[in-house]
Amino acid sequence: MTIYTDGAARGNPGPAAFAYVLKQEGKPDVEAHGKLGDTTNNVAEYTALVRALEHARKLGARRVRVHSDSELMVRQMQGRYKVKNEGLLALFEQARELATDFEHVAFEHVRREANGRADRLCNEALDGDAAHRKKPAKSAKGKAPLRNDQVDDQAVQCLRTMAYAWSRGNPHEPKPEAVWEQLWSILEEAGVLRK
């Protein structure tokens, strides 16, 4: 399986998004993207990688090649650069742990134009492209909006990532307030909460 990942933050830190494309010969491409709330570009890149590896594992991939235009992330995953940023360490360790679930994993730095589809998906998530934006569910007579599997997945992944980070050391980093902001952003973007 070939994986293309991308993550971006406007403002760095600022509004961020992730995207990935999974390609397997003889099968249709699998694409995913979503918003992350306010964070850094590197956190967005690693989030895309973690989610892509999780998805590839669910699909039963055994050998994967990851393409990314983030030279820093690729070099860190190759073991050529150390992870010095404490905010990235938990995501890096999560990605490394996921990589052990495959028979073979290779990481390759590619130019942005070679990562075009993942880049476009990431920008669509950041721009809130109308073709991909779901309208808020109208509540009838005070009933709660219907559950949305994509929103559930994003919220659970956010909590899982933060729980993993907290279990690895400082229970105050990332700050609970920042986690709540990210969850609030996920719910707002899905129309569960009013802006």
- Each residue's pLDDT tens digit, 155-179: 777 777 777 677 767 666 667 766 7
DSSP-based three-state secondary structure for 72: helix
**Is residue 184 assigned to a domain?**
no
Whole-model pTM: value is 0.69
- Residue numbers of the domain that contains 98: 2-128
pLDDT of residue 180: 75
Mean pLDDT of all residues belonging to the chain: 84
Is residue 118 domain-resident?
Answer: yes
Q: Is residue 149 part of a domain?
A: no
pLDDT tens profile 38-80: 999 999 999 999 999 999 999 999 999 999 999 999 999 999 9
Strand 2-9 relative to strand 63-68, pairing: parallel
Note if the bond before 136 is cis, omega within 30 degrees.
no
DSSP character for 135?
A: P
Instruction: Tell me the C-alpha to C-alpha distance, in Å, between residue 131 and each of 93, 134, 136, 158.
Output: 35, 8, 14, 24
| CA–CA separation, 71 and 177 (whole Å) | 30
pLDDT in tens, 122-144: 999 999 843 444 444 444 444 45
CATH number of 82's domain: 3.30.420.10
What's the confidence (pLDDT) of residue 194? 55
Q: What is the mean pLDDT of residues 93-107?
A: 97
Which two three-digit tokens encode residue 105? Answer: 């994993």
Taking alpha carbons only, the member of 56, 41, 45 closest to residue 11 is 41
Structural domains counted in the chain: 1
Label residue 147 by pLDDT band (50, 70, 90).
Answer: low
Flag whether 160 is in a domain. no
Residue 56 lies in a domain: yes
Quote the CA–CA distance of 195 and 158 in Å, as a whole number. Answer: 20
Residues with Cβ within 8 Å of residue 101, at least 6 apart in sequence: 53, 57
Residue entry with tokens 């998004």: 17
- Within-domain flag for 191: no
The Cα 187–Cα 164 span in angstroms is 21
Whether 188 maps to a domain, the answer reads no
Confirm whether 62 is domain-assigned: yes
